[in-house]
Each structure stands twice: as C-alpha cells, then as structure tokens.
C-alpha cells in the first residue's frame, strides 16, 4: 500500500470516527422547545420563560443531566402571533425533534396549537404563562384521550373564582365593579368574573371596558365610583393597567383595584411607578418579602447571570419549575414524548419554587398544577409585590421578616 493511499484511508477512518462521536454526543442531548414572544411589547413574558428555563437546564446539566443526558433548550420567537406559533411548533417537533415544550406567551397562541399538539404532534407541553381554561380542559381531555397540555401557572376559571371569592368572602365587598380590557384575555376574563359573581348571587354595579387605544379611563372610573363600587376587578396587562392606575391617581380615586396576574411582576411598577401603590394582584408566586432559601438562590442566580432584576418573576419561576417537572418525568418514565406525558401524571410530590406540592402535581383528570387553594393575593407596597396573609387580626403584608402591616378591608390601605 502506498503512503498516499494509507493516508487517505486513515483520514477517512478518522472522519468516520469523528462523525460517530458527534452522532453519539448528539444522541445524548434531550431537546426541549419553546415558541413565545421574544420581541415586541409582550417580549418580557417570553424572555422570562426562556431565562427561567435556562437557569434550570444549566443547573441540571452541571449535575450530570438526566440519567447522563444533557438538556438543550431550542427557542423560537413567535412575536406573540398564533400563526407563527403553530408553524414553529411543527418545526420544533418535526425537524428539531424536541421531546417536550414550554408553553407560549399568550393564550391565543396556545389555543391555536392545543388540538395540533394532542392530535398530531403528541409532545407534552407545560404552560408557565397562559391561563385560558380550554388549554388544559381541551377536547382530548373531554373525550378521555391522552392530553398533552399541562400548566404550572394560573388558569382562567380558577383565577376568576379566586379574585371574586377573595373580595366577596374575605374582604366583604358586595358591590363589585368591573373594568376590563377588550383584548382577548380581557374578554375571557370579563366573562369569567361575571360568571363567578352570578354564582354568588351578585351583579356587578358597573361593567366598563377600554380598548387598546384608550389612554385615559376617566369616564369609566367616574361611572364606577358613582355606582358605589367597593372594589374594581380587572383583566389586562402592564401597558393597559398603567393607564388605569394613572387615571385613578389623577382623579384621587381610592377604590381598591384588583387585577389578574398580568401585572404580577416588576414590569408593572417600572411602568406605573407610585401610581401602582396599593393595587392588588392575584398570582401564583411573588419574589418580594420574606422568601425561602431556594427562591433566594434562584433570584441571586438570575441577577448574576442576566445582570438585571426579573421583569415578570412569575413566568421565570414557572418555567424553572416546568423544566424540573420534565426532569422528574424523564427519570421516572423515559425520554419519549408519550413517556414524559405519562410521567408528569405520576409525580406524587414536588418541591418547586412556585410551591412545595405535597400531593400529586398533576393527575390524569387535572393538568393544572396550581388550584384555587394554591393561589395568592398580593399588594403593591412601596415597589414590592407582597403576599396578603391573614391572622386573627385580619389581612396583613410582611414588609420584612419582623414587620407586619395590617390592611383596612374597606380600602386596602395600610393601617
């Protein structure tokens, strides 16, 4: 054999060996996908989901991965557009071969992909951000088929129940006013709030709305005040609610204002400033006030890594927990999408950042991790989103580990 022939064969052998090693390494990757808004006005939601997932994945990989296999996050920017979400879900599953997904940044996108996920793609999805009830209570579930949609965040019916029940039962407000955004989430939220009030035998004293172009809600707020509203309930996001609270401040209107979890993060205080003082928000978690050691570690790692505070902590925390739930399911049941889906329904206890679930996180019939009993009501207080707790003296917030401030039930002001 000539030296040139030998060198050619050696080069070919090395190339084959290298390709084999690369293929082997690639086979050890476990791909998790996400398609959410990473640009545009709602990008803070998608960005927080992505960042929370990245922190969890790096932690897991630093400890050897899942059964020796490394997790990889593949993210796409759907620009908050359901059409793009559908296309990206197909691409991520069919071409990138992801075995699990994190949910999108808006309910419209998730509702668009839900039947495709259950009927065609068959890949488990955990939603940290989208709360439309029908995402998990979908046709597959109704028909008794395998349901691939799960959620660690709020869900619409439960959140509306929690908001109304808190104000009616815990604070004794019977004259409820509504002031909701005419955007998709506001429409569904308004319907849910009216439903729950009706179940309590109540009718809202006023049912006002505003659209995307409204920047001053003077007329609506004056109507609600004249109608005798004891509190105002709302579904809207940061931008819209900023205009609402600034209008309330301009009018010196101190009717308690309660919003769904669209404002449960620092992005709201950053936009609204002191106009947000005293505003209540339902949510699953807050990172302000006294915190567990695990949450403190996450907060510190986030700030160290991204050199800024979280703008919407609830979505970052939810995504972090979602990754660890996928890990638990993979370790228990395997790496195929169907095995992961089944494994998620078989996690008897889970200590996450949202909470320590001392019961099955999910079951076959319940794909919402957070129930009404797990939700919390919070109050914006001096730039902090503090959980409202109760003792025999009434509702209070903890400014720090040793300082309680009680609330006046009639106006939610600190006493």
Q: What is the pLDDT of residues 95-153, one digit of tens each?
A: 999 999 999 999 999 999 999 999 999 999 999 999 999 999 999 999 999 999 999 99
CA–CA separation, 181 and 162 (whole Å):
19
Residue 59 CB partners (closer than 8 Å, separation 6+): none
Name the DSSP letter for residue 217.
-
Q: What is the pLDDT of residues 141-185, one digit of tens each?
A: 999 999 999 999 999 899 999 999 999 999 999 999 999 999 878
CA–CA separation, 62 and 217 (whole Å):
51
What is the structure's pLDDT at 183?
Answer: 82
Q: What is the pLDDT of residues 252-309, one digit of tens each?
A: 999 999 999 989 988 899 999 999 999 999 999 999 999 999 999 999 999 999 999 9
What is the structure's pLDDT at 27?
Answer: 54
What is the structure's pLDDT at 1?
Answer: 52
Instruction: With beta carbons less than 8 A apart as the criterion, state whether 239 and 217 touch.
Output: no
- Greater confidence (61 vs 106) lies with 61
CA–CA separation, 247 and 264 (whole Å):
20
Instruction: With beta carbons less than 8 A apart as the criterion, state whether 45 and 312 touch.
Output: yes
Name the DSSP letter for residue 41.
T
Does residue 380 have a pLDDT over 60? yes
Q: Which CATH architecture has domain 157-283+382-406?
A: 3-Layer(aba) Sandwich (3.40)
Instruction: With beta carbons less than 8 A apart as the criterion, state whether 264 and 45 touch.
Output: no
Phi, psi of 19 (to 5 degrees): -65, -40
Fold of 24-154+292-372: Rossmann fold (3.40.50)
Residue 324 CB partners (closer than 8 Å, separation 6+): 56, 60, 350, 352
Instruction: With beta carbons less than 8 A apart as the criterion, state whether 238 and 385 touch.
Output: no
* Range(s) of the chain covered by CATH 3.40.50.2300: 24-154+292-372, 157-283+382-406
Does residue 82 have a pLDDT over 50? yes
CA–CA separation, 410 and 231 (whole Å):
9
Q: What is the pLDDT of residues 205-225, one digit of tens each?
A: 999 999 989 999 999 999 999
Radius of gyration of the chain (CA): 24
């Amino acid at each position: 054999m000539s030296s040139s022939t030998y060198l050619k064969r050696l080069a070919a052998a090395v190339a084959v060996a290298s390709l084999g090693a690369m293929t082997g390494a690639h086979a050890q990757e476990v791909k998790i996908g996400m398609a959410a808004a990473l640009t545009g006005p709602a990008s803070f939601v998608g960005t927080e989901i992505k960042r929370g997932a990245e922190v969890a994945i790096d932690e897991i990989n630093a400890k050897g991965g899942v059964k020796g296999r490394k997790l990889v996050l593949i993210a796409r920017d759907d620009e908050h557009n359901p059409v793009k979400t559908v296309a990206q879900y197909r691409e991520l599953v069919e071409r990138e071969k992801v075995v699990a997904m994190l949910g999108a940044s808006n309910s419209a996108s998730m509702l668009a992909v839900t039947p495709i996920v259950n009927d065609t793609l068959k890949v488990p999805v955990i939603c940290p951000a989208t709360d439309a009830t029908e995402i998990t209570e979908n046709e597959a579930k109704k028909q008794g088929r395998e349901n691939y949609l799960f959620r660690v965040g709020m869900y619409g019916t439960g959140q509306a129940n929690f908001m109304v029940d808190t104000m009616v039962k815990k604070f004794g407000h019977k004259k409820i006013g509504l002031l909701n955004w005419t955007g998709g989430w506001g429409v569904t939220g308004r319907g849910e709030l009216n439903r729950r009030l009706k179940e309590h035998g109540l009718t809202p004293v006023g049912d006002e709305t505003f659209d995307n172009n409204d920047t001053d809600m003077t007329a609506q707020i004056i109507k609600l005040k004249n109608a005798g509203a004891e509190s105002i309930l709302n579904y809207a996001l940061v931008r819209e609610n900023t205009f609402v609270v600034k209008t309330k401040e301009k009018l010196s209107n101190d009717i308690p204002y309660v919003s769904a979890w669209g404002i449960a993060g620092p992005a709201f205080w950053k936009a609204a400033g002191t106009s947000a003082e005293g505003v209540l928000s339902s949510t699953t978690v807050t990172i302000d006030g006294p915190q567990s050691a695990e949450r403190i570690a996450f907060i510190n790692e986030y700030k160290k890594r991204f050199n800024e505070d979280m703008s919407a902590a609830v979505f970052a925390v939810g995504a972090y927990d979602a990754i660890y739930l996928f890990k638990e399911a993979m370790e228990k049941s395997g790496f195929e999408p169907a095995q992961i889906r089944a494994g998620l329904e078989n996690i008897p206890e889970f200590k996450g950042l949202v909470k320590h679930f001392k019961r099955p996180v999910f079951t076959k019939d319940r794909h919402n991790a957070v129930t009404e009993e797990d939700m919390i009501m919070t109050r914006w207080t001096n730039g902090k989103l503090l959980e409202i707790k109760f003792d025999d003296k009434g509702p209070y917030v903890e400014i720090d580990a040793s300082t309680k401030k009680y609330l006046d039930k009639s106006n939610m002001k600190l006493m």
